[in-house]
Structure 1
Amino acid sequence: MTEAKGTRPQDDKLESDQGEALAVQRKLTAFPAKFVFVVGVLMSLAHIWFNTFGVISEIQRNAVHYAFVLLLGFVFYPLSKKKPDQTLPIDFLLALLGLVAGFYLIFFEDALHARNEVPILRDLIFAGLAIVLLIELTRRCTGLLIPFLAIFFLSYVTFLGKHFSGLLQFRGVTIERLFYRMYFAPDGIFGTIASISSTYVFLFILFGAFLLKSGAGDFVLKLAMSLMGRTVGGPAKMAVVASGLMGSISGSAVANTVGTGSLTIPLMKRTGFRPHFAAAVEAAASTGGQLMPPIMGAGAFIMAEWTQIPYLKIIGIATIPAIMYFSSVIFFVHLRARRRGLTPPKDEEIPRAREVLREGWHFLIPIGLLIGLLMYGYTPTYSASIATLAVVAASWLRKESRMGLADVAEALFLGAKNMVSTAVVLLCAGIIVGVVLMTGMGTTFSIIAMDLSGGHLFVMILLVALASLILGMGLPVTASYIVLAVLVAPAMQMMGVSLVAAHMLIFWYSQDANVTPPVCLAAYTAAGIAGSKPLQTGMEAWKLAKGLYLIPLLFCYTPILFEGPLWLVAEATASGMVGLFSFAILSEGFFFREVNWPLRIGFGVVTVLMFWPGYLTNAAGFGLFLALAAVQKLGGGRQSAAA
């Protein structure tokens, strides 16, 4: 297998397959490599078939999805990280058992219906096998926390719940009933979450794989460099723009960090930024990749399915907040560059935008077609399938990017490979969601959350932020969103927050795990590229990504998600941008020159006023901002300082 066009070889121990998890993958050679390649291609073709022309029931489609994921997953992720070759026979056996556990449901579902849904011993054995294998593979891909949560929820619904008191008490169900609900019913492993994984998520990840294979990744980097490279702090701003554009391809923070950071971080260091800041910029910007339409990570598809809000509407209302987030990172970059007195790179190092577009304009066709089909009313699965074919067709418009059969096969394999860890997380999350539905735990937790917040929305938001931070220390972003959405979103709706605002806030706060110490995968990944200290990089990234915490406040207190007149949306956007810029000045301590503490406090007041709902407070904040800016412009002080 050859290296994909537009990609760079990375550390074999880095796993960023959309699952936002770092795990050790086995280096495959000879027969195992050929085996997984063929299986991966077949997996992608199967998903294209049953998402377009194939006729197959939902639960059977999800069972096929499960079978392919476990077949690949156990081969990719070894039982022993230190001696992966020695455990390969065991892993192959487990992979085949996963295949059998998935296809058993397909062949024997009708027999179960013929018995009036009464499972026999054989059914229960395969159901238990499917659950155990899924939990074990999840442990290999993501660590211990998700398997622990799955086991805890399974224990709660069978025997542990009866030992709780008050609202949390649950009398329990039998093992037979549990296995039936988890394996055969549409609210367990093969339920709604699995449907999202086997349809929307897979096809959009496949679309991204085809774009990357065609060379779109390099085009994105060159385009970002041509747009921002000549400005103050250009390489860092380029990293922000590139990560935003790359987010429309990958939808993964860690994948963005690896894909763009290998170019942008060395360039930032070369132009004068310190290693930890360069890495932090890349991590903060890459985190925003999952917020950037039209591909926003798996959580956006789950949001669309649960809320029944069209996916096109979700990406539409998410656009302004995403632009605000990337702007907030650029504010930090600009002020830091001005403070350090950095100058733009040499002109010959920056490509011309006209030349970049002339060479790569055809890469825009599939993305434009995808958005056009969504706007025209086609389903996301159909739109993604047609856009994937358009990638191949568009690649033939230029000789340098033409995709042959080998390239198409490798893109099919890459899509399947990139799907494994995400699919594992989603399938295992199906266990948690299934238990929540069985027990009514969502309503219980909503009542508890209401009591803890005292009925105050802002306190509830703080609780959600804290919960997302704690969960993010061990859960990938998508899993964190799923857990919080099923447990907390109903409580926020009870407090008057709209359905879309509640889910969007939780989706945003779930991203903070990528940049918030002590566990921040995107920041640690960037630190490895930059050669900086991981914790120092994480702390810097946490500061740069404060838009993750501030902007969602606007979801709940303003109509910025197009839940009001357009002039109010514009007012909330403008006030939010001024507030974000003021916060950057407060944090950096620099504007036109060094900012003393009285003025920094003043900019902090501006931040509060600009985010406080109400046009009078916003107007007062803007007036104060102009006054402080005038004082800064006319006042004394050093022009720059080392940072």
Structure 2
Amino acid sequence: MQNATNENHVDDVLKKYDAEARYRTFDSKWVIRLVSVLAVGLALFHLITAYTGPLVTLQHRALHTGVVIALIFLLYPGRKRSSKTKASFFDFLAGIISLITTVYIFIDYDGIVSRAGDPNTVDIVLGLLTILLVLEGGRRIVGNALTILCLLFLLYAYFGPYMPMVIGHRGYSIEDIVNYMYLTTEGIYGTAIGVSATYIFLFILFGSFLDKTGMGQLFNDTSMAIAGGTSGGPAKVSVLSSGLLGSINGSAIANVVTTGAFTIPLMKRTGYSRNYAGAIEAAASVGGQIIPPVMGATAFIMAETLGMSYGKIALAAIIPGLLYYIGVVMMVHFHAKKVGMKGLSRDQLPRISVVLKERGHLILPLIILIYLLFGGYTPIFAAFFSIIATVVIAQLRSTTRMGLKDIWKALEGGTRSALSVAMSCAMVGLIVGVATLTGFGLKMTNAILILGGGSMFLTLIFTMIASIILGMGLPSIPTYIITSSMAAPALASFGVDPFVSHMFVFYFGILANLTPPVALAAFAGAGIAGGDPTRTGFISLRLAAAGVIVPYIFVYSPEMLMQNDATVGQIIMIAVTATIGVVSLAAAFEGYMLTKLDWIMRVVTVVGAITLMIPGTMTDIIGALILVLVCVSQWYKKNKKVNGDLTA
């Protein structure tokens, strides 16, 4: 009874903060079959085209988008009062219209190409309907924030002549806007939906197959076996399992709820406060979006946008990503030591040998994926082959074996999981399309540069603020696309490498999930833990301190991202000194190292930590000397306390 109550509570929290979780549960068998066939059909389409090659660009993206919209209208109610078990006549009609707009692009493709820039009446009507369907479908599954942003951009495209001089433009007619958004590969069917229709869908499908085999259980049990018995063990389990799952899972909120349902109650039982427990899960889940190999699928959009290989991006992201997690783990550790927490007893923990014997073979598909991605194969081939390998490898044990029904469910589940990402990409296509059409991106860049007043550091601060604001309430993929289009170009005038600037804005766009007043991941964690959302948000932001500082460091020292032809020796030195700096920063923020730190020593430790994190021989020496003094002071203070206790 208690477990059922907890599950219902977790489900309520997920639905409150994640629109994707508010889907219908149909009571009609034929509608259930219709949804299932559409979802599996779309999954098979992507698997087949991954093997044979995609269709013509506009047709491939249109088919992907059209089926996604149809599924969303069937699965997601338009209002809170709408039926949760039946789709309305309007929902079916909208789904049919969505498919019609797609079929039209196939039937009259040659005409669309020949009429480029001169659309006819049918083009305009169907294009207008498509835009409306994208907006309404996005509102249902992604939420209001991105929908409102899309509407504002569309209105901006039309009312340009009436805007203030700074952001004004000549304005575009409805026909021009619809043509650009529907009949070209610059609007709805732009790069974002293109990546969704190729790489992202396949990797989400891969994650669905892993989930069906029990990979999540493997991550949880392995983390428990490794860290569960240490000080504050359940919190470390949360960090490890959330990081592993978060890289594959494209939703930080879903990750909070999935792993938090298990880890947050454990953390509370071992002594963590409600706010701290929720904050740990939120910080750990958000960090998964910046951890290779998958990085919540954003790495593939980044690769497509910058024209870089996926392997270079994933490799470059390793050191900053690990520093983020080292910072979170060490804050959790120091907090546990400070308040005298213990880990779980051995009889409460799974044995690593048993865990690996039962499910260890499930690691092989991930190894195959990483090998293929770094071995020069395309991400599409790597994802396709890894899905096949997952099915084959899962047959090795009866507990993970997949039958035809499991495979069908994995295909359907993968499509369902991809709906919000795909719709986010379609909506972002509207925003980026307007920005390209009107030159808004350049105007925003100029505004940031004016505020920065020629100072690179001030420009970085304003770019950070813009990225956090743009990322509020948005999933990671639209967050990256919007911030990289609007904010990142401001850094180019200072000679910052495009990849470095894109990583900078992506980090802060992701951290918007932890930054009050709109910290959805932190709010979800607080909802499960029963804590205060705002306080949980500020604690989670403190836990993610390394994620706030590290982006500034790699802008000034791109060697941390393995740029500027950094040597192996330089990379190792940067990794070692930055790690020591992050550990020291965690100690300063928690006020504990070997024993409690007073406020003066905390300030000194922060200075030493930051100088160590900044690459450079002189800063490393200064930081090392400061931290040696802090450690000696701590050792002396601890020994004095121990000797005093013994004497007493």
TM-score for both structures, normalised by structure 2: 0.93
Amino acid at match of 1:214: T
Match of 1:3 in 2: none
Match of 1:495 in 2: 494
Amino acid at match of 1:538: G
Separation in 2 of the partners of 1:119 and 1:315?
42
Separation in 1 of the partners of 2:123 and 2:479?
31
1:247 Cα deviation (Å)? 2.3
Match of 1:100 in 2: 100
Q: Would the aligned equivalents of 1:609 and 1:618 in 2 still touch at CA under 8 Å?
A: yes
Assess, with a 3 A threshold, how the Cα gap between structure 1 residues 23 and 249 changes in structure 2: closer, same or farther: closer
The DSSP-based 3-state class of the residue aligned with 2:399 is: helix
Match of 2:89 in 1: 89
Assess, with a 3 A threshold, how the Cα gap between structure 1 residues 10 and 319 changes in structure 2: closer, same or farther: farther
Amino acid at match of 1:197: S
Match of 2:3 in 1: none
Identity %: 36
1:298 Cα deviation (Å)? 3.4
Match of 2:154 in 1: 154
Separation in 1 of the partners of 2:514 and 2:416?
25
2:27 to 12, 26, 29: 29
Separation in 2 of the partners of 1:277 and 1:424?
33
Separation in 2 of the partners of 1:115 and 1:481?
33
CA displacement 1:468-521 (0-9 Å, x = unmatched): 222233333322221111122222122121121111111111111222222222
CA displacement 1:115-162 (0-9 Å, x = unmatched): 46532111110000000110111122233332222222222222x211
| 1:256-275 equivalences in 2 (<5 Å) | 256-275=255-274
Assess, with a 3 A threshold, how the Cα gap between structure 1 residues 404 and 432 changes in structure 2: closer, same or farther: same
| 1:231-630 equivalences in 2 (<5 Å) | 231-558=230-557, 559-563=559-563, 564-630=566-632
The DSSP-based 3-state class of the residue aligned with 1:297 is: helix
1:259 Cα deviation (Å)? 2.0
Separation in 1 of the partners of 2:157 and 2:528?
44
| 1:131-280 equivalences in 2 (<5 Å) | 131-158=131-158, 160-280=159-279
1:15 Cα deviation (Å)? 5.4
Of 23-32 and 60-69, more deviation after overlay is shown by: 23-32
Of 360-369 and 160-169, more deviation after overlay is shown by: 160-169
1:126 aligns with 2:109: no
CA displacement 1:516-555 (0-9 Å, x = unmatched): 2222222222222222232222222121112221111222
Separation in 2 of the partners of 1:213 and 1:174?
49
Amino acid at match of 1:630: V
CA displacement 1:445-470 (0-9 Å, x = unmatched): 22222221122222122112212222
Amino acid at match of 2:97: L
Assess, with a 3 A threshold, how the Cα gap between structure 1 residues 117 and 22 changes in structure 2: closer, same or farther: closer
Instruction: Point out 4+ residue stretches in structure 1 off by more than 6 angstroms.
Output: none
Amino acid at match of 1:623: L
Amino acid at match of 1:597: W
Separation in 2 of the partners of 1:321 and 1:612?
13
Separation in 1 of the partners of 2:385 and 2:18?
27
Separation in 2 of the partners of 1:319 and 1:20?
28
CA displacement 1:611-643 (0-9 Å, x = unmatched): 44532022111110111111012126879xxxx
Separation in 2 of the partners of 1:15 and 1:596?
40
1:114 Cα deviation (Å)? 4.3
CA displacement 1:27-55 (0-9 Å, x = unmatched): 32323333212211111111112222155
CA displacement 1:543-597 (0-9 Å, x = unmatched): 1112221111222011111112222222322232222222222221122222111
1:13 Cα deviation (Å)? 4.8
Assess, with a 3 A threshold, how the Cα gap between structure 1 residues 88 and 10 changes in structure 2: closer, same or farther: farther
Q: Would the aligned equivalents of 1:23 and 1:142 in 2 still touch at CA under 8 Å?
A: no
Assess, with a 3 A threshold, how the Cα gap between structure 1 residues 436 and 502 changes in structure 2: closer, same or farther: same
Match of 2:645 in 1: none
Separation in 1 of the partners of 2:484 and 2:116?
34
Amino acid at match of 1:579: G
1:20 Cα deviation (Å)? 6.4
Amino acid at match of 1:602: V
Q: Would the aligned equivalents of 1:24 and 1:81 in 2 still touch at CA under 8 Å?
A: no
The DSSP-based 3-state class of the residue aligned with 1:517 is: coil
In angstroms, what is the RMSD of aligned CA positions?
A: 2.1
Q: Would the aligned equivalents of 1:13 and 1:24 in 2 still touch at CA under 8 Å?
A: no
Of 405-414 and 562-571, more deviation after overlay is shown by: 562-571
Long gaps (5+) in structure 2:
1-6, 643-648
1:322 Cα deviation (Å)? 1.1
Of 566-575 and 64-73, more deviation after overlay is shown by: 566-575
1:363 Cα deviation (Å)? 0.5
Match of 1:5 in 2: none
Amino acid at match of 1:409: W
Q: Would the aligned equivalents of 1:579 and 1:607 in 2 still touch at CA under 8 Å?
A: yes
Assess, with a 3 A threshold, how the Cα gap between structure 1 residues 9 and 315 changes in structure 2: closer, same or farther: farther
Q: Would the aligned equivalents of 2:72 and 2:419 in 1 still touch at CA under 8 Å?
A: yes
Q: Would the aligned equivalents of 2:579 and 2:613 in 1 still touch at CA under 8 Å?
A: no
Long gaps (5+) in structure 1:
1-7
How many pairs does the alignment contain?
630
Assess, with a 3 A threshold, how the Cα gap between structure 1 residues 115 and 620 changes in structure 2: closer, same or farther: closer
Amino acid at match of 1:633: W
Q: Would the aligned equivalents of 2:257 and 2:525 in 1 still touch at CA under 8 Å?
A: yes
Amino acid at match of 1:257: V
CA displacement 1:367-396 (0-9 Å, x = unmatched): 111111112211101110110111110110
Q: Would the aligned equivalents of 2:157 and 2:434 in 1 still touch at CA under 8 Å?
A: yes
Separation in 1 of the partners of 2:471 and 2:54?
38
Assess, with a 3 A threshold, how the Cα gap between structure 1 residues 90 and 12 changes in structure 2: closer, same or farther: farther
Amino acid at match of 1:495: F
1:10 Cα deviation (Å)? 7.9
Separation in 2 of the partners of 1:52 and 1:217?
28
Q: Would the aligned equivalents of 1:190 and 1:430 in 2 still touch at CA under 8 Å?
A: yes
1:23 Cα deviation (Å)? 5.6
